[in-house]
Amino acid sequence: MTLPTTTNHLSIPLGITDPLLLRVLREHTNQINQLAEGRITAFYSALTAAPSSGPWMQGDSVKNSAPSELGTAGSKYVIEGWVCVVSGTPGTWVQKRFLTGN
């Protein structure tokens, strides 16, 4: 089966054999697979600390790219990331923690 080739407003042929389209689709497919597997490399906004610059909106979140177990025995936790609770530059951020049970 052959798919029809179409042309966009720039007269660049698009279709199943277009190398640029295939590269973009491959990148998106890899990122979706990595997100589904929980891989940190799939997150563009992964940081080692809460943002300290730039505009952020309430509800934005950032993944922790360097998680480690913190706290004292009996109440250890991991910082999964941070969530912006007040919009601004850089906004107000709180940790998203989860207990490890250790």
| CA–CA dist 49, 82 (Å, integer) | 8
Amino acid at 89: T
Residue 58 pLDDT > 60: yes
Q: What does the pLDDT read at residue 39?
A: 75
Which residue, among 72, 66, 63, has the nearest Cα to 95 in the 3D structure? Answer: 63
Which residue, among 54, 57, 76, has the nearest Cα to 67 in the 3D structure? Answer: 76
Strand partners, 99: 77
Q: pLDDT tens, 29-49?
A: 888 888 787 776 667 778 999
Q: pLDDT tens, 69-90?
A: 999 999 999 999 999 999 999 9
Residue 97 pLDDT > 90: yes
Kindly list the domain boundaries of the chain, sorted by start residue.
Answer: 6-36, 45-99
* Cβ within 8 Å of residue 16, ≥6 positions away: 3, 22
